[in-house]
Amino acid sequence: MSVNVLSVEVSVIKQFYALTKPRVIQLIVFCALIGMVLAVPGLPTWAELQLALLACLGIWLVAGAAAAFNCIVEKSIDAKMKRTAWRPTARGELADWQTLLFSAVLCAAGSLLLYFWVNPLTMWLTFATFIGYAVVYTVILKPLTPQNIVIGGASGAMPPVLGWAAMAGDVGPEALILFLIIFLWTPPHFWALALYRVEDYRKSGLPMLPVTHGNEFTRLMVLLYTFILFAACLMPYVYGMSSWLYLIAAVVLNLGFCLYAFYLWRDYSDLLARKTFRFSLIHLSLLFAALLLDHYLL
Protein backbone atom coordinates (compact mmCIF):
# COMPACT_ATOMS: atom_id res chain seq x y z
CA MET A 1 0.00 0.00 0.00
CA SER A 2 2.81 2.40 0.93
CA VAL A 3 4.57 1.61 -2.35
CA ASN A 4 1.43 2.54 -4.30
CA VAL A 5 1.05 5.80 -2.37
CA LEU A 6 4.69 6.65 -3.01
CA SER A 7 4.23 5.89 -6.71
CA VAL A 8 1.21 8.21 -6.89
CA GLU A 9 3.12 10.99 -5.10
CA VAL A 10 6.06 10.69 -7.49
CA SER A 11 3.66 10.78 -10.44
CA VAL A 12 2.00 13.96 -9.13
CA ILE A 13 5.39 15.61 -8.58
CA LYS A 14 6.33 14.77 -12.19
CA GLN A 15 3.06 16.29 -13.40
CA PHE A 16 3.68 19.56 -11.56
CA TYR A 17 7.27 19.61 -12.78
CA ALA A 18 6.05 19.13 -16.37
CA LEU A 19 3.91 22.27 -15.99
CA THR A 20 7.08 24.37 -15.70
CA LYS A 21 8.18 23.36 -19.23
CA PRO A 22 11.68 22.32 -18.06
CA ARG A 23 13.46 22.50 -21.44
CA VAL A 24 12.25 26.05 -22.05
CA ILE A 25 13.17 27.07 -18.50
CA GLN A 26 16.69 25.68 -18.93
CA LEU A 27 17.26 27.96 -21.92
CA ILE A 28 15.76 30.93 -20.04
CA VAL A 29 18.05 30.43 -17.03
CA PHE A 30 21.05 29.87 -19.31
CA CYS A 31 20.40 33.17 -21.10
CA ALA A 32 19.92 34.92 -17.74
CA LEU A 33 23.22 33.44 -16.56
CA ILE A 34 24.99 34.88 -19.60
CA GLY A 35 23.67 38.31 -18.65
CA MET A 36 24.97 37.81 -15.11
CA VAL A 37 28.41 36.74 -16.28
CA LEU A 38 28.82 39.63 -18.72
CA ALA A 39 27.76 42.13 -16.04
CA VAL A 40 30.74 41.12 -13.84
CA PRO A 41 34.23 42.11 -15.07
CA GLY A 42 36.67 39.23 -14.72
CA LEU A 43 36.14 36.22 -12.48
CA PRO A 44 33.27 36.53 -9.99
CA THR A 45 33.88 36.59 -6.26
CA TRP A 46 32.31 34.06 -3.92
CA ALA A 47 29.66 36.63 -2.95
CA GLU A 48 28.87 37.26 -6.62
CA LEU A 49 28.56 33.51 -7.26
CA GLN A 50 26.10 33.22 -4.40
CA LEU A 51 24.13 36.18 -5.75
CA ALA A 52 24.05 34.62 -9.22
CA LEU A 53 22.83 31.31 -7.82
CA LEU A 54 20.00 33.00 -5.91
CA ALA A 55 19.07 35.05 -8.98
CA CYS A 56 18.97 31.93 -11.17
CA LEU A 57 16.72 30.20 -8.65
CA GLY A 58 14.38 33.20 -8.40
CA ILE A 59 14.16 33.57 -12.18
CA TRP A 60 13.56 29.84 -12.55
CA LEU A 61 10.70 29.94 -10.05
CA VAL A 62 8.92 32.90 -11.68
CA ALA A 63 9.48 31.52 -15.20
CA GLY A 64 8.07 28.18 -14.06
CA ALA A 65 5.04 30.00 -12.63
CA ALA A 66 4.44 31.71 -15.99
CA ALA A 67 4.71 28.38 -17.81
CA ALA A 68 2.22 26.74 -15.42
CA PHE A 69 -0.24 29.62 -15.84
CA ASN A 70 0.12 29.28 -19.61
CA CYS A 71 -0.86 25.60 -19.28
CA ILE A 72 -4.14 26.58 -17.57
CA VAL A 73 -5.10 29.18 -20.16
CA GLU A 74 -4.24 26.95 -23.13
CA LYS A 75 -5.36 23.56 -21.83
CA SER A 76 -8.15 23.23 -24.42
CA ILE A 77 -5.78 24.32 -27.19
CA ASP A 78 -3.04 21.99 -25.95
CA ALA A 79 -5.46 19.05 -26.02
CA LYS A 80 -5.93 19.55 -29.79
CA MET A 81 -2.23 19.58 -30.63
CA LYS A 82 0.05 16.54 -30.78
CA ARG A 83 3.00 18.58 -29.49
CA THR A 84 1.20 19.56 -26.28
CA ALA A 85 -1.57 16.99 -25.76
CA TRP A 86 0.57 15.15 -23.18
CA ARG A 87 0.57 18.07 -20.72
CA PRO A 88 -1.16 17.25 -17.40
CA THR A 89 -3.63 20.12 -17.76
CA ALA A 90 -4.55 19.09 -21.31
CA ARG A 91 -5.16 15.51 -20.15
CA GLY A 92 -7.16 16.62 -17.11
CA GLU A 93 -4.71 15.05 -14.67
CA LEU A 94 -4.46 18.25 -12.65
CA ALA A 95 -7.34 20.53 -11.73
CA ASP A 96 -7.24 24.22 -12.63
CA TRP A 97 -7.12 25.24 -8.97
CA GLN A 98 -4.12 22.98 -8.36
CA THR A 99 -2.22 24.45 -11.30
CA LEU A 100 -3.19 28.01 -10.38
CA LEU A 101 -2.11 27.49 -6.76
CA PHE A 102 1.16 25.95 -7.93
CA SER A 103 1.78 28.92 -10.25
CA ALA A 104 0.97 31.43 -7.50
CA VAL A 105 3.29 29.73 -5.00
CA LEU A 106 6.18 29.61 -7.48
CA CYS A 107 5.66 33.25 -8.48
CA ALA A 108 5.44 34.45 -4.88
CA ALA A 109 8.47 32.43 -3.78
CA GLY A 110 10.58 33.60 -6.73
CA SER A 111 9.52 37.22 -6.36
CA LEU A 112 10.27 37.31 -2.61
CA LEU A 113 13.65 35.67 -3.17
CA LEU A 114 14.59 38.18 -5.86
CA TYR A 115 13.32 41.19 -3.89
CA PHE A 116 15.04 40.46 -0.57
CA TRP A 117 18.15 38.49 -1.60
CA VAL A 118 18.96 39.93 -5.04
CA ASN A 119 17.49 43.41 -5.62
CA PRO A 120 14.06 45.01 -6.17
CA LEU A 121 14.83 45.98 -9.79
CA THR A 122 15.37 42.34 -10.78
CA MET A 123 12.17 41.33 -9.00
CA TRP A 124 10.05 43.96 -10.76
CA LEU A 125 11.56 43.21 -14.16
CA THR A 126 11.00 39.47 -13.64
CA PHE A 127 7.43 40.02 -12.48
CA ALA A 128 6.79 42.28 -15.50
CA THR A 129 8.11 39.46 -17.69
CA PHE A 130 5.66 37.09 -15.99
CA ILE A 131 2.77 39.44 -16.77
CA GLY A 132 4.05 39.96 -20.32
CA TYR A 133 4.15 36.24 -21.07
CA ALA A 134 1.31 34.85 -18.99
CA VAL A 135 -1.22 37.62 -19.61
CA VAL A 136 -0.26 39.93 -22.50
CA TYR A 137 1.07 37.19 -24.80
CA THR A 138 -0.93 34.12 -23.76
CA VAL A 139 -4.32 35.69 -23.04
CA ILE A 140 -4.37 38.69 -25.39
CA LEU A 141 -1.89 38.51 -28.28
CA LYS A 142 -1.69 34.80 -29.09
CA PRO A 143 -5.36 34.33 -30.01
CA LEU A 144 -5.67 37.80 -31.56
CA THR A 145 -2.92 38.39 -34.15
CA PRO A 146 -0.47 36.42 -36.32
CA GLN A 147 2.18 38.87 -35.09
CA ASN A 148 1.76 37.43 -31.59
CA ILE A 149 5.20 35.85 -31.51
CA VAL A 150 6.86 39.07 -32.69
CA ILE A 151 5.24 41.36 -30.10
CA GLY A 152 5.13 38.73 -27.37
CA GLY A 153 8.75 37.86 -28.04
CA ALA A 154 9.74 40.79 -25.84
CA SER A 155 8.97 38.69 -22.76
CA GLY A 156 11.06 35.79 -24.03
CA ALA A 157 13.97 38.15 -24.73
CA MET A 158 14.15 39.42 -21.13
CA PRO A 159 16.31 36.74 -19.40
CA PRO A 160 19.74 38.34 -20.09
CA VAL A 161 18.33 41.69 -18.96
CA LEU A 162 17.18 40.07 -15.72
CA GLY A 163 20.58 38.49 -15.26
CA TRP A 164 22.38 41.77 -15.88
CA ALA A 165 20.09 43.64 -13.47
CA ALA A 166 20.69 41.00 -10.79
CA MET A 167 24.45 41.54 -10.80
CA ALA A 168 24.80 45.20 -11.80
CA GLY A 169 21.67 46.66 -10.25
CA ASP A 170 20.81 48.44 -13.49
CA VAL A 171 20.07 47.77 -17.17
CA GLY A 172 23.02 48.73 -19.36
CA PRO A 173 23.32 48.95 -23.16
CA GLU A 174 24.99 45.54 -23.21
CA ALA A 175 21.89 43.96 -21.67
CA LEU A 176 19.70 45.66 -24.27
CA ILE A 177 21.88 44.27 -27.08
CA LEU A 178 21.39 40.76 -25.71
CA PHE A 179 17.66 41.47 -25.48
CA LEU A 180 17.60 42.56 -29.13
CA ILE A 181 19.35 39.37 -30.27
CA ILE A 182 16.81 37.09 -28.61
CA PHE A 183 13.91 39.32 -29.69
CA LEU A 184 14.93 38.98 -33.36
CA TRP A 185 15.83 35.30 -32.98
CA THR A 186 12.37 34.33 -31.68
CA PRO A 187 10.24 34.79 -34.86
CA PRO A 188 12.35 32.63 -37.25
CA HIS A 189 12.83 30.08 -34.48
CA PHE A 190 9.11 29.78 -33.74
CA TRP A 191 7.87 30.09 -37.32
CA ALA A 192 10.09 27.20 -38.38
CA LEU A 193 8.24 25.12 -35.79
CA ALA A 194 4.84 26.49 -36.86
CA LEU A 195 5.52 25.56 -40.50
CA TYR A 196 5.70 21.82 -39.85
CA ARG A 197 3.06 21.99 -37.09
CA VAL A 198 0.64 24.08 -39.17
CA GLU A 199 -2.19 21.54 -39.04
CA ASP A 200 -2.01 21.49 -35.25
CA TYR A 201 -2.29 25.27 -35.14
CA ARG A 202 -5.10 25.25 -37.69
CA LYS A 203 -7.08 22.80 -35.52
CA SER A 204 -6.39 24.88 -32.42
CA GLY A 205 -7.83 28.01 -34.03
CA LEU A 206 -4.76 30.11 -33.20
CA PRO A 207 -3.89 32.70 -35.88
CA MET A 208 -0.29 31.65 -36.39
CA LEU A 209 1.45 33.09 -39.45
CA PRO A 210 1.46 29.89 -41.56
CA VAL A 211 -2.28 29.55 -40.94
CA THR A 212 -3.24 33.16 -41.72
CA HIS A 213 -0.68 34.02 -44.43
CA GLY A 214 0.36 30.65 -45.80
CA ASN A 215 3.52 28.59 -46.05
CA GLU A 216 5.35 30.63 -48.70
CA PHE A 217 4.92 33.99 -46.94
CA THR A 218 6.05 32.51 -43.62
CA ARG A 219 9.17 31.04 -45.23
CA LEU A 220 10.02 34.47 -46.65
CA MET A 221 9.60 36.04 -43.21
CA VAL A 222 11.90 33.41 -41.69
CA LEU A 223 14.56 34.26 -44.28
CA LEU A 224 14.27 38.04 -43.81
CA TYR A 225 14.41 37.77 -40.03
CA THR A 226 17.59 35.68 -40.19
CA PHE A 227 19.23 38.49 -42.18
CA ILE A 228 18.19 41.09 -39.60
CA LEU A 229 19.28 38.74 -36.80
CA PHE A 230 22.71 38.40 -38.45
CA ALA A 231 23.22 42.15 -38.18
CA ALA A 232 22.06 42.23 -34.56
CA CYS A 233 24.42 39.41 -33.60
CA LEU A 234 27.37 41.52 -34.75
CA MET A 235 26.49 44.29 -32.31
CA PRO A 236 28.34 42.83 -29.28
CA TYR A 237 31.57 43.04 -31.31
CA VAL A 238 30.79 46.47 -32.78
CA TYR A 239 29.89 47.88 -29.35
CA GLY A 240 33.07 46.47 -27.82
CA MET A 241 31.59 43.99 -25.37
CA SER A 242 33.26 41.05 -27.17
CA SER A 243 36.28 40.34 -29.37
CA TRP A 244 37.24 38.32 -32.44
CA LEU A 245 36.43 34.94 -30.84
CA TYR A 246 32.76 35.83 -30.50
CA LEU A 247 32.77 37.53 -33.91
CA ILE A 248 33.93 34.35 -35.66
CA ALA A 249 31.33 32.26 -33.85
CA ALA A 250 28.58 34.79 -34.64
CA VAL A 251 29.43 34.90 -38.34
CA VAL A 252 29.58 31.09 -38.68
CA LEU A 253 26.39 30.46 -36.69
CA ASN A 254 24.40 33.16 -38.49
CA LEU A 255 25.60 32.04 -41.90
CA GLY A 256 24.33 28.59 -40.96
CA PHE A 257 20.95 29.96 -39.86
CA CYS A 258 20.65 32.05 -43.04
CA LEU A 259 21.48 29.03 -45.21
CA TYR A 260 18.86 26.91 -43.48
CA ALA A 261 16.33 29.71 -43.98
CA PHE A 262 17.34 30.15 -47.64
CA TYR A 263 16.95 26.46 -48.48
CA LEU A 264 13.67 26.42 -46.55
CA TRP A 265 12.44 29.35 -48.64
CA ARG A 266 13.56 27.80 -51.95
CA ASP A 267 12.45 24.19 -51.45
CA TYR A 268 10.19 23.53 -48.47
CA SER A 269 9.81 20.25 -46.65
CA ASP A 270 8.62 19.44 -43.16
CA LEU A 271 11.93 17.70 -42.50
CA LEU A 272 13.89 20.84 -43.42
CA ALA A 273 11.60 23.01 -41.27
CA ARG A 274 12.22 20.66 -38.36
CA LYS A 275 15.98 20.83 -38.94
CA THR A 276 15.80 24.64 -39.13
CA PHE A 277 13.95 24.75 -35.81
CA ARG A 278 16.50 22.49 -34.15
CA PHE A 279 19.40 24.50 -35.57
CA SER A 280 17.87 27.69 -34.18
CA LEU A 281 18.17 26.23 -30.67
CA ILE A 282 21.79 25.25 -31.32
CA HIS A 283 22.41 28.71 -32.81
CA LEU A 284 21.30 30.62 -29.71
CA SER A 285 22.97 28.26 -27.25
CA LEU A 286 26.35 28.34 -29.03
CA LEU A 287 26.13 32.08 -29.67
CA PHE A 288 25.74 32.81 -25.98
CA ALA A 289 28.33 30.19 -25.09
CA ALA A 290 30.74 32.04 -27.41
CA LEU A 291 30.00 35.27 -25.53
CA LEU A 292 30.79 33.45 -22.30
CA LEU A 293 34.09 32.02 -23.58
CA ASP A 294 35.08 35.37 -25.10
CA HIS A 295 34.41 37.12 -21.80
CA TYR A 296 36.76 34.85 -19.83
CA LEU A 297 39.43 33.92 -22.36
CA LEU A 298 40.09 37.28 -24.03
- Angle, helices 148-156 vs 173-196, to 10°: value is 130
What is the band of 10 on the pLDDT scale with cuts at 50, 70, 90?
Answer: low
Angle at 287 between CA 71 and CA 58, to 5 degrees: 45
> Does 194 score more than 90 pLDDT?
yes
DSSP result, 223-270: HHHHHHHHHHHTHHHHHTSS-HHHHHHHHHHHHHHHHHHHHHHHS--H
Q: Which of 28, 11, 31 is CA-nearest to residue 63?
A: 28
To 10 degrees, the CA torsion angle through 80, 81, 82, 86?
Answer: -70
> Does 9 score more than 70 pLDDT?
no
How far is the C-alpha of 58 from the C-alpha of 121, rounded, in Å? 13
The per-residue pLDDT for range 221-244, each reduced to its tens digit, is: 999 999 999 999 999 999 999 999
The per-residue pLDDT for range 256-278, each reduced to its tens digit, is: 999 999 999 999 999 999 999 99
Q: The whole model's pTM is what?
A: 0.91
How far is the C-alpha of 35 from the C-alpha of 40, rounded, in Å? 9
CB 175 within 8 Å of CB 39? yes
Cα-only R_g, the chain:
20
Q: How many CA atoms lie within 13 A of 283 on its CB side?
A: 29
Report CA-CA distances (Å) from 27 to 70, 157, 182.
17, 11, 11
> Does 154 score more than 50 pLDDT?
yes
Mean pLDDT along residues 57-63:
96
| pLDDT in the model for residue 1 | 46
Q: Which of 59, 90, 67 is CA-nearest to residue 20?
A: 67
